[in-house]
Amino acid sequence: MGRFIVRRALFGIVVLVVISLAVFLLFFVVAPGDVAGNFCGKGCTPERLAQIRALYHLDKPWPQQYLLYVKRLVLHGDLGYSFTNSQSVRAILIDRAPATISLALGAAVVWLGLGIPIGILAATKPRSLRDRAATVFALAGLSIPTFVLGLLFIYVFFYQLTIHGFAFFPGNGYVPLMDDPWGWFKHLILPWFTLAVVSAASYSRITRGSLLEVLGEDYIRTARAKGLAERRVVYRHGLRSALTPVVTLLGIDVGTLLGGAIVTEQVFGLQGIGQTAVQAVVNGDLPIIFGTVLFAAFFIVVANIFVDIAYALLDARVRLS
């Protein structure tokens, strides 16, 4: 297992290097106009232009610029400097990351808690009433855009409950977990369910389809022939292998959300990475956009490494060699 993790980590590093090179070429080589002017943003001054040229070594050939940038990134975690915000990109992302991480991980727990049980219930009784109900839930969840569901939740659970004297759900904003755990939970419960309802629909259908396929395997029929209880057959022998595609989708979804859940953060006013990226696009703040892309790529690569490890733990047919 240790050698496998090392190999996957090294492969992930190679992927990050390729992504960083591609993004660097896009921003520093291919982009039209003056690079310093592009990174300067609004309210640019000659002094600021000179600072940017010195910071990114724009007087040197681009391969040397890239190597110097990677050196600063690896040794110091330097993602650049936002002259629009007068703050380092790393500090901005670290400040906004807790909201995004809380949103992504909490929503993942909720949608797994909804989607997997619904998929299991549907798979164990195919073409039954509960299977059809699960199908309706999946179709409804997949048909509702995230921003519509978020606004609906705000209208019902914030506006309507507040005007009727039950002010429990905050309308927007984020409270740090360490400052006020109960306030943190209340501010995130609506965003969690906004993401979870849409995602749980996909997870229920994937769980159902995968479990139905696994329950038709020879080793499942053998387990039943030995007289094992149906519950043990489904949960002990079937579900473990059936979760492989679920883990695949989970790694992609969580990795993507950790890079910024743009729509949900905008709807609920969460000062996370997604909302920061939107503001950077509006302000033309390229250093933040550049740093956000690398930040998101890192989380996606790490999530996929964990997915590969989970494959081996869930399915005995997967070999680590």
pLDDT per residue as tens digits for the range 71-121: 888 888 888 888 777 788 888 888 888 998 899 889 999 989 988 888 888
Count of domains for the chain: 2
- Please, what is the average pLDDT of the chain? 83
pLDDT per residue as tens digits for the range 126-171: 888 888 888 888 888 878 888 888 889 888 888 888 888 887 888 7
Q: Are 115 and 251 members of one domain? A: yes
Give the pLDDT band (50/70/90) at residue 1. low
Question: Are 201 and 149 spatial neighbours (Cβ–Cβ below 8 Å)?
Answer: no
Q: Are 155 and 267 members of one domain? A: yes
Q: Are 183 and 234 members of one domain? A: yes
Of 25-34, 74-83, 311-320, the range with the lowest mean pLDDT is 311-320
Q: Are 261 and 140 members of one domain? A: yes
Q: Are 23 and 123 members of one domain? A: no
Q: Are 135 and 261 members of one domain? A: yes
User: Does residue 318 surpass a pLDDT of 60?
Assistant: no
Q: Indicate the residue among 30, 52, 78 that finishes a domain.
A: 78
Tell me phi and psi for residue 82, to 5 degrees: -90, 110
Q: Is residue 83 part of a domain?
A: no
Q: Is residue 90 part of a domain?
A: no
Q: Are 148 and 214 members of one domain? A: yes
Q: Is residue 273 part of a domain?
A: yes
Q: Are 58 and 176 members of one domain? A: no
Three-state secondary-structure class, residue 292 = helix
Q: Are 172 and 260 members of one domain? A: yes
Q: Which of 147, 136, 126 minimizes the C-alpha distance to 201?
A: 136
Q: Where are the beta strands (DSSP E) in the chain?
A: 81-82, 87-88
Q: Which of 158, 147, 314 minimizes the C-alpha distance to 245?
A: 314
pLDDT, position 43: 67
Over range 172-185, report the average pLDDT: 87
Full residue range of the structural domain in which residue 142 is found: 96-314
Q: Is residue 200 part of a domain?
A: yes
Q: Are 116 and 74 members of one domain? A: no
pLDDT, position 260: 62
Q: Which amino acid is at 288?
A: I
Q: Indicate the residue among 78, 107, 128 that finishes a domain.
A: 78
Q: Are 171 and 33 members of one domain? A: no
